[in-house]
Amino acid sequence: MTASPARHATILDVAAAAGVSKSTVSNVIRGVVGVSPDTRTRVQEVIDQLGYRPNVLARQLVQQRTTTLGVVVGDMGNPFYAEMAKHIEREAAGRGYRAMFCNTQGENEAELSGLESLMEYRAAGVLFLSQPADRERARSIVSGRAPAVFVTCAGDWGDTVSADDDAGAELATEHLVRLGHRRIAYFADPIVEDSADHDRQTGYHRVMDRAGLAPTIFHWQRQPGELLRQKRDEQVAEILRTRVTAVFSSNDYGAIELLECADRLGVKVPDDLSVVGFDDVVMAGLARINLTTVRQPQAELAGIAVEILDARVNGVLDGAHQRRTLDVELVLRGSTASPQP
């Protein structure tokens, strides 16, 4: 079999074969009332026979609106974003939208050209799973042309849907305090959105203050691209020299890397070091990882985000930006315990 001519039947082909006008075919396709049962079935038969599929491009061109949702995601290789992407695609499809993904890998250029491309496709709305690096240019490309929803990352020019980062951090930190830890560090992974990181730090600080403990913030150094294992180990070793007995990491990924370092350094988790993460990615639940963490309600986040975007697109929702915050939950697993005496 050779390459296909990719010939699609048009509404005119159907009309001709069924011996009706193209409007009648259009009426059948769109299921409008006022088509005689006879005609309807006859047209439908021709449609099935010809394998006719309406051209969405033509439809959307005349209707002046599309059912394409743009999704901007930093790294689909990151399990958290991959799972979010999956949920969003499902939600979008459930509401009759098609998701167009732009995986930006944090590259400014990819981000901007992706957004421009989405606008050229006249995406009905765009959904950010990570805040664009160049906020102003991103905004100037999208704003005024399509509604935007920021999921899990704050954006000041669109609706935002995120987990209660502050409360989650409180939960995590309180858990460590109750276990008897005094030296509890906050471990910031730069991959976490600034706004989320900020809120998580806030929650951490509040609990530490309340307990009369001194906060310590560590910034995980990431090399652009590959991570230097030795460099990470040195950092962790340094942290442990400060006699820290517990760490709250701003995300699971960072927490898992910390576990790895601890393993290499011979530091026992949870005996010598307790670790709490944030996200509850699937990996965190593996018996060998077994990470105590704060669960983000991924499916709900995705559902509400698409719901809001849909409402904006349909003009059902209008006016000021929505700011939805969903509850989180602490998942107790094996990476935390009371400090050794």
Partner DNA sequence: TTGAAAGCGCTAACAT
Partner DNA sequence: ATGTTAGCGCTTTCAA
Binding site for DNA (CB under 7 A): 8, 10-12, 19-24, 26-27, 29-30, 33-36, 38-39, 52-55, 58-59, 61-64
User: 11 contacts which partner out of a second copy, DNA, none, CB within 5 to 8 A by kind?
Assistant: DNA
Kindly identify the residues of this chain, within the stretch 110-139, that bind a second copy according to CB under 8 A. 110, 113-114, 116-117, 119-122
Q: Which is nearer to a second copy, 142 or 294 (CB)?
A: 142
CB of 70 to DNA, least distance (A): 18
H helix or E strand, kind and range, residue 276: strand 274-279
- Tokens 């394409």 belong to residue: 68
For residue 166, how many C-alpha atoms fall within 13 Å in the half-sphere facing its CB? 5
Q: Which is nearer to a second copy, 122 or 205 (CB)?
A: 122
CB of 151 to a second copy, least distance (A): 16
Region of 36-44, 87-95, 160-168, 244-252 interacting with a second copy (CB under 8 A)? 87-95
Q: Which is nearer to DNA, 55 or 221 (CB)?
A: 55
Using CB under 8 A as the binding rule, whether residue 5 contacts a second copy is answered as yes
CB of 223 to DNA, least distance (A): 42
Which residue in 132, 131, 115 sits closest to 123, CA to CA?
Answer: 115
Question: Alpha-carbon Rg of the chain, whole angstroms?
Answer: 26
Using CB under 8 A as the binding rule, whether residue 275 contacts a second copy is answered as no
* C-alpha dihedral, 294 to 300 to 306 to 310, nearest 10°: -140
β-sheet bridge partners, residue 320: none
Helices 194-210, 165-178: crossing angle, 10 deg rounding: 40
Which residue in 204, 133, 131, 193 sits closest to 166, CA to CA?
Answer: 204
